A and B are shown apart, each in its own frame.
Chain A
């Protein structure tokens, strides 16, 4: 069966994010089609699905990168209008994008504070203060990291990932979106990101995690949600479903018994199903 995660979130925990009936189309293609998903306080919800299922698009609507066509978003109970990245950040939503969204030609501190720079009394950039805070935050994540003066392009993949994560921590994210945080990392660094996620959960931060790695998901997440072809197939506590069940949701859209089905769930006529070989 499955490995229980530490600190299971009670079912009646406060909902920090409620995304209801979200849709967005690009040129006639329904990238996200009436999808809904909630996030409870202190919870890690993993969002899975095949390539092009709409996971990144769905989550970018919460982060303000895209503007939804329909649907509502409630944050901490209040309906919010999230039309751009600034709106999302103002609500305590920080995002670590799959591409990291770092400006390669400027240094770490500049990237951490991009768009939210600290300024001196004269109105100029307070580079010294920003670097000091950068050293502080990076020191907590990666104590041996010293390359603060170099443009971020010169850093390794793992270091760049730390910078992207540090940016979210620096601004005290309450709601964190992580899009494939370990896709470009080796096993040791992946384990470190996993440790970090557990630590953040302990600190009371609620996390949306997009990942392809089912092992990671069952290790770190409280709930798993699956999208297929832009629609929400369903979601379930990680303890209520098996990895095979989840694979079935991803590939077939078949919602198992322990899961709450969404609009994308298909009712399968079992006589037509070909069982996948283990």
Chain B
């Protein structure tokens, strides 16, 4: 430290130069643009500022996909299977975003699957009995109201957990184990164990399927919007940095990021657009819409992006925004890093904790809606053991059980990994008990590898 009023060697001058050649610098790997240092790969990662751990998970995912593809004689990496995979992942992916915040603050939520079950029953009964009586069968607003009811019930359930944990001081593990038992029992109690079916037709769209997908045109529209958004965000970030003379990423790195991002988005949408409607559905569609076809001609109607997948992506973006750009998100991570420091900084840690669990409950509500829509029914067994998948997804995605570290995107990729394992094993005809063994082993190995990685990083 030098004399506090010294203007010498101001950081502005050094950083405006972009590259610093001062060897007495405080910087180490993790700082920018010392392009003379390290291997080409290390330089690449430093310049693009890509999180290597995230890449590691993606790499593992791709490896799993390739392995399954080979062993299933090429049935895994087909548009149909990948599309189904995306829909199956949606509800766990949504819940895993909330679980990240819970685990980051050194809590846990084991009641997630039971909350889903109870909320699903309440939504089912609302749709099938209350709303048709109140506003008429087939009313266009049934799905909105039912979804809103589900989210509100989730908020209340989460609020109960949050209150007991934050204000009464009972450990989250115990409270949510209690919740796991209570809400599962309550789910049975809603209809004395009876399954509720069918659901409102518009509500069912949230479950995917040919009608619950947005089709080729709209999928391309969304893909283009996404690419533009990626490019814009990179441009805006660069402009912001320039404004304050912060070190900039090299232009080629910015270009690579935009390029790779767009290729990924377009690739995924292309896959979804390659999965056609089943022949029976196409025939019905042709008949209903009086489309004239030549002899022997078939219509290729692509599914496009499934609605539950869109919902999951939207929630992922929203949660990432909340976690990184809001005060609430900042407080969540600070509390996870050092609860005492957060208190001394004047943060209302109890209220933040309560909000985390309320948010978790609301996300369970959305996941319950998707799950119910897919099943076209509410059963009291819905969501059983989902909490394990959700926690596994978050942890595989890089969320540390010690608190303070985690990303939303990682958790969603983790959910894809878990679901890929399960789908792949089904495709290979692996017995269900053996599937559980594999999933369990993979989870432990993944966390072990992650801890090794963290130790190496220091």
- Write the residues of chain A forming the contact surface with B, with a CB cutoff of 8 angstroms: 63, 65, 84-86, 89, 95, 97, 99, 101-106, 110-111, 114-117, 119, 123-125, 128, 131-132, 135, 138-147, 149-151, 154, 158-159, 162, 169, 189, 192-193, 195-196, 199-200
Q: Which of B2-10, B174-182, B289-297 contacts A (4 or more CB under 8 A)?
A: B2-10
B324 closest partner in A (C-beta): A125
A97 to chain B, nearest CB (A): 7
Question: When the two chains form the complex, which single residue of A105, A138, A162 contacts B404, counting CB atoms closer than 8 Å?
Answer: A105
Name B's interface SS: loop
Given contacts A103-B338, A124-B326, A143-B11, contact A86 B346 (CB under 8 A): yes
* A147 pairs with B334, CB closer than 8 A: no
Complexed CA–CA distance, A3 and B330 (Å): 47
Complexed CA–CA distance, A101 and B338 (Å): 8
* A105 pairs with B24, CB closer than 8 A: no
Complexed CA–CA distance, A54 and B22 (Å): 46
Residues 32 to 87 of chain B near chain A (Cβ within 8 Å): 32
Does B344 sit within 8 A of A, measured CB to CB? yes
Q: Which of B240-248, B254-262, B369-377 contacts A (4 or more CB under 8 A)?
A: B240-248
Given contacts A125-B330, A149-B30, A196-B4, contact A144 B337 (CB under 8 A): no
Chain A residues whose CB sits within 8 angstroms of the CB of B15 once the complex forms: 135, 146
Question: When the two chains form the complex, which single residue of B340, B346, B404 contacts A115, counting CB atoms closer than 8 Å?
Answer: B346
* A135 pairs with B9, CB closer than 8 A: no
Complexed CA–CA distance, A84 and B345 (Å): 10
Interface string of B397-419 (1 = CB under 8 A from A): 00000001100000000000000
Q: Offer 14 A-B interface pairs, CB within 8 angstroms, sorted by A.
A: A101-B341, A103-B342, A104-B404, A105-B333, A105-B334, A110-B334, A114-B330, A128-B241, A128-B244, A128-B246, A131-B246, A135-B15, A143-B10, A145-B11
* B346 pairs with A84, CB closer than 8 A: yes
Given contacts A65-B344, A104-B404, contact A146 B25 (CB under 8 A): yes
Chain B residues whose CB sits within 8 angstroms of the CB of A99 once the complex forms: 340
Given contacts A124-B325, A196-B1, A199-B3, contact A106 B337 (CB under 8 A): yes
* A125 pairs with B244, CB closer than 8 A: no
Complexed CA–CA distance, A274 and B458 (Å): 52
Complexed CA–CA distance, A143 and B26 (Å): 10
* B341 pairs with A102, CB closer than 8 A: yes
* B327 pairs with A117, CB closer than 8 A: yes
Given contacts A135-B12, A141-B1, contact A103 B337 (CB under 8 A): yes
* B9 pairs with A144, CB closer than 8 A: yes
* A199 pairs with B30, CB closer than 8 A: no
Residues 315 to 331 of chain B near chain A (Cβ within 8 Å): 325-327, 330
Residues 330 to 385 of chain B near chain A (Cβ within 8 Å): 330, 333-334, 336-338, 340-347
Residues 215 to 257 of chain B near chain A (Cβ within 8 Å): 240-241, 243-244, 246
A237 to chain B, nearest CB (A): 26
Chain A residues whose CB sits within 8 angstroms of the CB of B243 once the complex forms: 128
* B340 pairs with A154, CB closer than 8 A: no
Q: Identify which of A103, A149, A158, A195 gathers the most chain B CB atoms within 10 Å of its CB.
A: A103
Residues 412 to 458 of chain B near chain A (Cβ within 8 Å): 458
Given contacts A104-B404, A143-B2, contact A110 B30 (CB under 8 A): no
* A106 pairs with B4, CB closer than 8 A: no
Residues 78 to 131 of chain B near chain A (Cβ within 8 Å): none
Q: Knowing that A85-B343, A105-B334 are A-B contacts, what are 15 other residue pairs whose CB atoms are under 8 Å apart, sorted by A's residue number?
A: A101-B344, A111-B341, A114-B334, A115-B346, A125-B330, A135-B12, A139-B10, A143-B2, A144-B9, A144-B24, A145-B11, A147-B26, A159-B26, A169-B4, A196-B4
* B9 pairs with A143, CB closer than 8 A: yes
* B347 pairs with A144, CB closer than 8 A: no
Given contacts A103-B338, A141-B4, A146-B26, contact A125 B325 (CB under 8 A): yes
Does B20 sit within 8 A of A, measured CB to CB? yes
* B458 pairs with A154, CB closer than 8 A: yes
How many B residues have CB within 8 A of the partner chain? 48
Chain B residues whose CB sits within 8 angstroms of the CB of A169 once the complex forms: 4
Complexed CA–CA distance, A102 and B343 (Å): 11
Q: Which 10 A-B pairs have the closest CB atoms?
A: A115-B345, A105-B337, A105-B404, A103-B337, A86-B346, A192-B1, A114-B345, A103-B334, A101-B341, A115-B346
B325 closest partner in A (C-beta): A124
Chain B residues whose CB sits within 8 angstroms of the CB of A159 once the complex forms: 26
Does B27 sit within 8 A of A, measured CB to CB? yes
Given contacts A115-B345, A117-B330, A144-B24, contact A102 B30 (CB under 8 A): no
Complexed CA–CA distance, A184 and B241 (Å): 35
Complexed CA–CA distance, A135 and B327 (Å): 21
Chain B residues whose CB sits within 8 angstroms of the CB of A95 once the complex forms: 344
* B458 pairs with A101, CB closer than 8 A: no
Chain A residues whose CB sits within 8 angstroms of the CB of B327 once the complex forms: 117, 119, 125
B431 to chain A, nearest CB (A): 42
Chain B residues whose CB sits within 8 angstroms of the CB of A123 once the complex forms: 326
Does B194 sit within 8 A of A, measured CB to CB? no
* A199 pairs with B344, CB closer than 8 A: no
* A103 pairs with B30, CB closer than 8 A: no
A65 to chain B, nearest CB (A): 6
B69 to chain A, nearest CB (A): 38
* A85 pairs with B11, CB closer than 8 A: no
A159 closest partner in B (C-beta): B26
Chain A residues whose CB sits within 8 angstroms of the CB of B347 once the complex forms: 114-115
Chain B residues whose CB sits within 8 angstroms of the CB of A162 once the complex forms: 1
Complexed CA–CA distance, A146 and B20 (Å): 10
Complexed CA–CA distance, A115 and B4 (Å): 25
B240 to chain A, nearest CB (A): 5
* B26 pairs with A145, CB closer than 8 A: yes
B138 to chain A, nearest CB (A): 40
Chain B residues whose CB sits within 8 angstroms of the CB of A63 once the complex forms: 344
A115 to chain B, nearest CB (A): 3
* A146 pairs with B31, CB closer than 8 A: yes
* B30 pairs with A142, CB closer than 8 A: no
Given contacts A119-B327, A199-B4, contact A105 B11 (CB under 8 A): no
B15 closest partner in A (C-beta): A146
